[in-house]
Structure 1
Amino acid sequence: MSRADRLALASWHAVILHRDHPSVDALKRQLELLHIRVSVVWPQVDGADADCDVVFFDADMGHDGQFPWPRGFAPMPMIALIGSEAPGRVEWALAQGSNAHLLKPIGSTGAYSALLIAAHAYQVTRSQADDIRALEDRLRQRPIVVRAVLKLLQQERLDEAGAWKRLRKIAMDWGMTIEETAEAICRDDRRTRSGA
């Protein structure tokens, strides 16, 4: 991670979703040393705290319904605070969308590396989800692209390769994606004859 990529933690707000506990005090001290504003809440994250930058949550006593977003779709990095390594508790923490974890009891270190790992994992996951959505959108638009190619085949008496080449040229001329161009061609073939 370069200096330019480092997190501006001094502007962050962290929520610790945990009942009173010495580990919470230790974690709060670590975060405050990083100049992070900290709110400790229990038994749930309310709307006022839902716009924070990171959530540390108790994996041992946590339960469904503690977050105002759907399970596994947190809008920020999530860090599980784990004291019990019981498989069910770890699975529950993962299902909430945990991007990193800290083992309890929490001492005087660990929060910074957990923040960096969680923020990185969250960004990677979010980027992958965006890529998947874009690919799914393109896949949904494939039938209209095929219809546009067929229309170009018929109207301009081209072979398949020629129709694809023509579609790409029209898209470049119009400054649109292939999918947007295909929609326009299927919607209004007069534009194809006059504009391209």
Structure 2
Amino acid sequence: MSRPRIRVRGLRLLVIACDGRDARHLEQQFRRLGVEGRFYDDLPDEQSCEDADMVLFDGDSPVLSHPDRELTWPALPLIVLTGVEAPSRLQWIIRQAPSAYLRKPVRFDGVMTALTLARAAADQRQGLEARIERLEERLRIRRFLFSAQLLLMKTFDLGEDDAYALLRSLAMNQQKTVEHFSLDLLARPEGYLRLAKDLIG
């Protein structure tokens, strides 16, 4: 298992709705860490988000957390800066689904930890989403596996287990998953059934 990357130099952050003192302290820490921070009073437009790596926003800002406003964040890891622990404020922060948090007031320590955790959470989420996508694809084409298995059973008068073993052997010969090979078999049965016959012997 690979170790998470503990490296933040070169990251590009959108910093949103942070007040003057916290913004100044963040700028100092960003310079120390080699991070580029772009500061906005409110959510920037889509074009400003295109080359950014993550977003840091002030979770206590009335600009962002107005009750009549529904926020649409860019598809980037979020870090929330917060100093208020009121339940309603925490519930609002939870709804924004941040990957990490940073306590107010911004100090010398904590910034690298927040950046590292947000980056690791984003990497984990991407890996999980990719795995889910692969599993969903396999489920979608699983029904074709059963159809291919039935075709082999009928063509060669095989039992269910023998038909599956044959299907798996054919897939291995083609260096494909059983599911993807099943699609090929159903699309072009003549050639693959000849191969199956040769395997049966």
CA distance in 1, matches of 2:44, 2:93: 15
Equivalent residue, structure 1, for 2:125? 125
What amino acid is the match of 1:125?
R
Name the counterpart of 1:24: 23
Are residues 1:65 and 2:64 paired? Answer: no
The residue number in structure 1 matching 2:199 is none
SS at match of 2:56: strand
Paired residue type of 2:44:
V
TM-score, normalised with respect to structure 2: 0.84
Q: Secondary structure at the match of 1:38?
A: strand
Identity, in percent, stands at 28
Report how far residue 66 of structure 1 moved: 5.0
Deviates more, 1:95-104 or 1:43-52: 43-52
Q: Distance in 2 between matches of 1:3 and 1:163?
A: 42
Cα 1:66–1:26, aligned 2, differ >3 Å: closer, same or farther?
farther
Whether 1:86 aligns to 2:92 is no
On the 8 A contact 1:60/1:84 being kept in 2, the answer is: yes
Length-normalised TM-score, structure 1: 0.86
The residue type equivalent to 1:65 in the other structure is L
Compute the displacement of 1:65 (Å). 2.9
Cα contact 1:17–1:55 (8 A) shared by 2 = yes
Question: Aligned partner of 1:161: which letter?
Answer: D
Q: Please, which runs of 5 or more residues in structure 2 have no aligned partner?
A: 197-201
Task: Please give the alpha-carbon distance, in whole angstroms, between the structure 1 residues aligned to 2:11 and 2:170.
Answer: 47
Q: Which residue of 1 aligns with 2:104?
A: 104
Which of these two proteins has the greater Rg computed from alpha carbons?
2
What is the alpha-carbon distance in structure 2 between the residues aligned to residue 65 and residue 84 of structure 1? 20
Deviation at 1:97, TM superposition (A): 2.8
Q: Which amino acid aligns with 2:152?
A: L
Aligned-pair RMSD on alpha carbons?
Answer: 2.2
In structure 1, the residue matched to 2:150 is 150
Aligned residues of 1:80 and 1:100 also touching (Cα < 8 A)? yes
Where does structure 1 lack aligned partners over 5 or more consecutive residues? Answer: none
| Distance (Å, rounded) in 2 between the aligned partners of 1:11 and 1:55 | 14
Paired position in structure 1 for 2:32: 33
